[in-house]
Structure 1
Amino acid sequence: MSNAYITPPLPPQPPTSRPTPKWARKRYVLPALAVALFIGVGIGNSGQDTTTDQAQPASAKPRPTVTVTATATAKKAVEPEAATTVTATKTFEVT
């Protein structure tokens, strides 16, 4: 009894175009890598400034730091004035 889940072997594939020797692949890959390297170096160096007006570090001597803390003072809240309430009352007799 044969197993229905086993796939039959594939027929042999015809050879593709002639195989490229390793030296031919290196002939294209290595120059492409070199060009990519030079482009990357050019992009990396294009953003640097050579001027001397860049920020200079402060003196190397240790100095005390100053921290300023402002304390909020609570103001006395003004109480709202009470509004006058108008109430009208009527008296009814229930029979």
Structure 2
Amino acid sequence: MTLTKADLAEAVYKEHETITKRDAVRAVESFLRLSKNILIAGDDLLISGFGKFNVKNKKPRKGRNPQTGEDLILDARQVVTFHPSGLLRAKVNES
């Protein structure tokens, strides 16, 4: 199952009777915007009971073009990794 921003906003709306759909959409958008800005700045994002998103630096490395077989050097880059919390890991393993 794919979970979209619209699905998240709908879930927030249904969970909280006092919030409007528009406010639910704004809340989801705000959370995602803040999360992205934290990761873009290179900081870690820890969501208690869910997990931790880390920004890691990858060094340049040797690669190969699969079409031509030509060797090449892949540039250094940053990647985002996710490590689930112990609570989330336990819940997933219960299923």
For the aligned pair, the TM-score class normalised by the smaller chain equals: under 0.3
Calculate the TM-score normalised by the size of structure 2.
Answer: 0.25
Relative to total residues, which structure has the larger helix share, 1 or 2? Answer: 2
What is the TM-score when the length of structure 1 is the normalising length?
Answer: 0.25
Greater relative CO, 1 or 2 (CA 8 Å, sep 6+): 2
Larger radius of gyration: 1
